[in-house]
Structure 1
Amino acid sequence: MNGTIIVDNVTVEGATLATAQVESIEADETEQWIHLQFTWSGKPFSLDVAESDRVYDLKAALMSLTNVPPERQKILGLVKGKLPTDDERIGDLKLLSGKKFTLVGTPEGHEIKDPHELEFLPDVVNDLDVDFTADPAAAAEYINDQRNRRKVEQHTKKLKPNLINPLREGKRLLVLDIDYTILDTKPLTSGALPPQECARPGLHEFLEAVYPHYDICIWSQTSWMWLEAKLVELGMLGGIRSYRIAFVLDKTCMFTVFSKRNGQPYKHSVKALKIIWNHFPQYGPSNTIHVDDLGRNFALNPREGLKISAYKNAHTQAAMADRELAKVARYLVHLANSHPDFRKANHSKWKDVVKSLPQ
């Protein structure tokens, strides 16, 4: 029994982040691939990995072939000594094509799990967040990383967008996070509070205010089955409100990137807007804004990101007094009316802009 994973070798446009703007560049690097062979449970397998891939990607490829999760994998004979950490580049391992190794590990079972045991809640620890707008040079490195550009292309090909409502000519695009951005996820998923009481105050009014100017995409770091249930329970889908959600993306459209936090390797998921732009070319950096409570989700699009405070502890007095969405709505309407090209706006200063607007 043989298995082979070969990812399309496609070079795509990257972007370099200058202090004032993001400029597109053509990728001039040629991806180098390494052919590896391994045995697991007495069976031979083979796979190809790119030099720009990380050890993390190798482990993911091994799992796709054997169903052995990374935490159970023992990779013997690939390198001398201990296998490097997940963020190490495959090219830095100095592997020769045709290298053979052995994988040891027990595959994951296919048993049905209780929903509460499933990994459907996003990683929402804000103290581990990263501000990619604060370091343009570092942001440019992630944007131009050959692996990241290839991942964007792969996820573009994999995505089959399903329009819930038609896109409207001449509208901008609002990409909106859901968990802890427009609702308190914990009491919703646990059933501690009714759905309406988990929503951030002014949610529907916010969406109604921006809808005349923006097509709305919901992008959540959860799986579709849970995401759909949340949106229906909140009355955002199938409701009678005067706004419509154009399309929805879940965690399958995200991928892991490797950056640094306080000088240390840091691994996290990212929402790459270019995946959307590749499918819907009427949108791009000039007319797209991404609202999220986690700045690290903007890693590949720092200039298009607008970070707002996380919404938690719904039903407390402080949470019920929250007016963040009303302020964001004022900013987005102002942005649509005053900036034909969003690239000329600095979204990190959005609160200052709102304060300067007439009441």
Structure 2
Amino acid sequence: MLHNNDNLSNDHILCTLNNKTLNSNNQSYYFIITSNIMNDSRIDTETYRITQICLSLSFCSTLLHIIFIFYFKRIRQLYGICIIIHYLFYSLSYLMMLITCSLSKMHIMHTIFRYLADYCILTTMTMNLKSTIVIIYSLMNQQQITNLWCKNNICLKNVKTLCYIIEHIIIIGLPISSILLSVLLFDTYEYNSVDHKEFAEISCNLLPNHEHFYVFFPIIFILLLLQFICIIIITKYLIKQYHNTDNHYNIMDTLWKTTNINTRYWITIKFTITHSFVWFIAFLALLQASIALWHVFTLLFSLQAIYIIVNCTFTRPILDLLYQWREEMMDYYKNEHNLYIINHIINTNQQKDTKRNRNRNISIDT
């Protein structure tokens, strides 16, 4: 009986020691997991801060450019309404993305601003497409004016009407319909894998979910493809003038050199190329759930805004307008100064005359 009690006590001691060993191992394992989580959160915090800095820089750059555009009336006329609206919505997309980075993914305001950011980005793409279509309209209108007796004039009118209808359907309906499809057909928090779910913590409004892979990015790439098609049409149309000495192409050459079409054409090309490169990197970053590619995207996103404001501001047409504005302001201030001097001389002469007349009257009275 005593022997059995000794065995039981020994077994109890062994079980206690094993439990302590397991507890210590579990504590060390828990410490390792906790340290890894802390390291992961530290990386996410750094990524989050880099994203915020890049988006803030982009928003400030576009905002300065918009202020610059609205301050000078002639630059607004040079850019045209399509490019100005493009700038406005692109600046708003930076702001909406910056707001979504500051909100929790489960918050209702994050969902609202996320859809607003997607809408602003898609509207930006459609307005850039409209800018290229407006250039084609201008060239086709000039062709219609110079070829009034052409047999294809009726066909050209029909093509213009069809393009006009398709353009407004795309520009107005496409961003709204894409948002409605995303809301009605897809679950916001349905991801392809666990990596995509973790990547969503740092991707602002660009969640790697089905609505972005099946609706948002395909629409962006379709709009960019249409922009490249329009640019190719314009380029081929303009190349023909160098191989033809007809009076029509001489008029087209004069139109190209004396109007704002040339400047708008190059600005649209710059936007199309930079949009294509930036959003292709964004698609790869979301598809692979790569933090490194996300850093590349945010960096290119901010550099695009800086490149556009520098490259579009310091072009020859803009500098010519600024120089002309400076000369006009100098002439204005010179005229104002001359008028001030003339008025001052007239006032002093009038004062002298009144003083002389007063002295004369005093002398007569005496």
TM bucket normalised to smaller: under 0.3
Q: TM-score, normalised by structure 1?
A: 0.19
Higher helix share goes to which structure?
A: 2
Q: TM-score, normalised by structure 2?
A: 0.19
Q: Mark the structure with the bigger radius of gyration.
A: 2
Higher relative contact order (CA 8 A, sep 6+): 2
